[in-house]
Amino acid sequence: NAKNIKLLKPTAYVINTSRGGLVDGEALLRALQNNQIAGAGLDVLEDEEIMRDPVLLFSDSCHDCNIRTSLVNSMLIDNPKTIVTPHNAFNTTEAIMRIINTSLENLKGFVNGKPTNIVAPK
């Protein structure tokens, strides 16, 4: 948020590879425009589904669609101090092999009556 961004040095870069909602896009954009920080590297943006399909803004199911957030995202993408990459770190040969191997081990454990990676209900 703006309060936390103000604590950063002007040479700092904000990097977010986790979830778009963790970074206040408006505060980040303002900081970039005002030279409060040096730049940003993002592979996630808040409410990305609208960016992927802008027609959603006009659908009846778009009760919570935020045009403001969508505009901020577009401005962040276009900002010369921002690098935005696709959020697909999982999409490497090594990562896919780990996913497949973990899934196979989970299936083997289940079949043998010793399930692994159990997610307990809260």
- Residue 30 annotated in active site: no
| Residue 64: both structure tokens together | 């919570």
CA distances from 111 to 66, 106, 114, 116, 118 (A): 46, 9, 8, 11, 14
Catalytic option among 30, 68, 87, 98: 87
- Residue 49 annotated in active site: no
Q: 69 near 46, Cβ under 8 Å? A: yes
Q: 72 near 82, Cβ under 8 Å? A: no
- Bridge partners for 13 per DSSP: 39
| Residue 34: both structure tokens together | 């005002």
**pLDDT reported for residue 112:** 94
Share of the chain above pLDDT 90, in %: 56
Query: Which tens digits make up the pLDDT trace of 14-39?
Result: 999 888 889 999 999 999 999 999 99
Catalytic option among 30, 46, 48, 52: 48
- Residue 48 annotated in active site: yes
Query: Which tens digits make up the pLDDT trace of 100-112?
Result: 999 999 999 999 9
